[in-house]
């Protein structure tokens, strides 16, 4: 499968466009030590990073921080993730064989002592490699200061770092690059911002993708998909894959996609515990109005759940925006992902 393979892409021939982003990532890593790849969900961050690393032949360690357990993240669970990833890398055994803090065997790489010192020894051994922390905003949920760790690696170790995240505001709240009190303050880095495809690109992507699959799809269906998935490459891929493999119509693929987006949202809102209801109501009002002013949101939430103090609502709106679920346009708020908006309107 080509464009419509649902896994993150790893080969240039499967990666649509993204020439500029590849170049920016390359320049950023050549000139500096840290690149941040930002973009909302399904904008193609992981595909960009993995394709770049595989095509350039660099050795890398890829950690998907979404795989860390829910709740507070311990250093130990981070070490588990790192062990697993290092065990998959053929070069790692050789590089780590002289590091006392780990054992290297046919079973893979294991920390002998599970503490910060061991972690630093391993990172020190990763000279000239690239460390990828995907969905790094998850690392904020920890008593261990991962931001200090990144700053230490930046300042003292000879490795390059790629940090990525789909909850961009939360990611920057974690990195605090502009906060003089923070470990990463003032460090130079490059940001590669992922984007939506234009209408023309979306059409090219779908037409070429269906060509690769050898199936004929009418202009009408393509137009409908472009309208609903709004340039989000991950949704266009989802659509292409679903149509190719199950021959469903646009409507039912759209419904499934919006249920998926909704379940991801619900998962993300769990961290707010009993406060979740107010987040829900806020989203429902914004989704149903399409664009909503502050006063409209406040009135709507209060009509349902009783009085809500301004600063509480402000926090909710900030958290939703920093998580990438809503965005502000002038004086109004809207749901960023039209597929999610549909899901909230219909099923929430
Ligand atoms: N440039 C591209 N060409 C072809 N397919 C792509 C491209 N970018 C992303 N995709 C596809 O879109 C989907 C989402 O891509 P990917 O997982 O790389 O995005 P992401 O931004 O990391 O998403 P998430 O926020 O969910 O982690 C995948 O199915 C992937 O194969
Ligand atoms: Mg990703």
The tens digit of pLDDT for each residue in 40-72 reads 999 999 999 999 999 999 999 999 999 999 889
Looking at residue 247, what is its pLDDT? 86
Integer angstrom CA distances of residue 127 from 28, 91, 157, 206, 212: 18, 12, 7, 41, 40
Say yes or no: 79 and 185 in one domain: yes
Query: The tokens of 199 are what?
Result: 């209408």
Angle between helices 146-156 and 168-175 (to 10 degrees): 70
pLDDT one-digit tens code per residue, 74-126: 999 999 999 999 999 999 989 999 999 999 988 899 999 999 999 999 999 99
Helices (H), the chain: 19-31, 45-56, 75-88, 90-96, 116-125, 146-156, 168-175, 199-213, 219-229, 233-246, 250-269, 276-289, 294-305, 310-322, 338-347
Q: Does the beta carbon of 45 lie inside 6 Å of ligand 1?
A: yes
State the residue range of the domain holding 234: 199-259
Q: Does the beta carbon of 196 lie inside 6 Å of ligand 1?
A: no
Phi, psi of 90 (to 5 degrees): -65, -35
Distance 346 CA to ligand 2 centre (A): 26
Q: Which long-range contacts (CB under 8 A, 24 or more apart) does 99-106 make?
A: 99/125
Confidence of residue 348 (pLDDT cuts 50, 70, 90): confident
Query: The tokens of 215 are what?
Result: 């199936």
Confidence of residue 319 (pLDDT cuts 50, 70, 90): very high
Q: Which ligand is nearest to the CA of 45?
A: 1
pLDDT one-digit tens code per residue, 11-33: 999 999 999 999 999 999 999 99
CATH number for the domain including 319? Answer: 1.10.10.10
Last residue of a domain, one of 148, 174, 193: 193
| Segment 314-329 mean pLDDT | 97
Percent of the chain with pLDDT over 70: 100
| Segment 213-230 mean pLDDT | 97
What Rg value do the Cα atoms of the chain yield, rounded? 22
Distance 331 CA to ligand 2 centre (A): 31
In a domain, 9, yes or no: no
Ligand 1 atom having least distance to the Cα of 39: 21
In a domain, 8, yes or no: no
Say yes or no: 290 and 211 in one domain: no
| Segment 303-318 mean pLDDT | 97
pLDDT one-digit tens code per residue, 134-165: 999 999 999 999 999 999 999 999 999 999 99
Closest Cα to atom 19 of ligand 1: 44
Last residue of a domain, one of 259, 279, 294: 259
In a domain, 11, yes or no: no
Q: Does the beta carbon of 16 lie inside 6 Å of ligand 1?
A: yes
Last residue of a domain, one of 172, 193, 214: 193
Looking at residue 1, what is its pLDDT? 82
Looking at residue 51, what is its pLDDT? 98
Confidence of residue 129 (pLDDT cuts 50, 70, 90): very high
| Segment 171-200 mean pLDDT | 96
Say yes or no: 39 and 164 in one domain: yes
Count of Cβ atoms closer than 10 Å to residue 7 Cβ: 11
Say yes or no: 154 and 83 in one domain: yes
């Amino acid at each position: 499968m080509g464009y419509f393979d649902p896994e993150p892409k790893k080969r240039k021939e499967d990666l649509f466009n993204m020439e500029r982003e590849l170049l920016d990532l390359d320049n950023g890593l050549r000139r500096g030590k840290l690149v941040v790849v930002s973009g909302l969900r399904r904008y193609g961050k992981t595909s960009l990073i993995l394709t770049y690393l595989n095509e350039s032949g660099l050795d890398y360690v890829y950690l998907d921080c979404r795989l860390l357990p829910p709740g507070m993240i311990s250093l130990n669970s981070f070490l588990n993730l790192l062990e697993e990833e290092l065990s998959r890398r053929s070069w790692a055994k050789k590089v780590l064989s002289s590091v006392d803090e780990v054992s290297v065997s046919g079973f893979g790489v294991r920390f002998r002592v599970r503490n910060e010192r061991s972690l630093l020894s391993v990172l020190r051994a990763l000279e000239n490699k690239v460390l990828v922390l995907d969905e790094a905003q998850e690392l904020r949920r920890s008593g261990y200061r991962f931001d200090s760790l990144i700053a230490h690696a930046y300042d003292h170790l000879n490795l390059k770092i790629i940090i990525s995240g789909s909850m961009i505001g939360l990611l920057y709240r974690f990195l605090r690059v502009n906060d003089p009190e923070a470990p990463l303050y003032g460090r130079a880095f490059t940001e590669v911002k992922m984007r939506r495809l234009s209408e023309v690109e979306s059409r090219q992507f779908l037409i070429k993708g269906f060509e690769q699959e050898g199936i004929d799809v009418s202009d009408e269906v393509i137009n409908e998909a472009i309208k609903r998935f709004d340039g989000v490459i991950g949704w266009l891929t989802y659509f292409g894959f679903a149509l190719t493999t199950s021959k469903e119509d646009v409507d039912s693929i759209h419904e499934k996609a919006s249920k998926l987006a909704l379940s991801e949202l619900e998962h993300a809102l769990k961290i707010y515990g009993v406060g979740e209801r107010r987040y829900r109501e806020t989203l429902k009002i914004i989704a149903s109005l399409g664009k909503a002013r502050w006063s409209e949101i406040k009135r709507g939430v209060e009509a349902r759940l009783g009085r809500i103090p301004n600063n509480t609502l402000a926090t909710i709106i900030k958290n939703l925006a920093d998580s990438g679920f809503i965005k502000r346009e002038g004086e109004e708020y809207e749901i960023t992902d039209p597929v999610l908006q549909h899901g909230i309107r219909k099923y929430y």
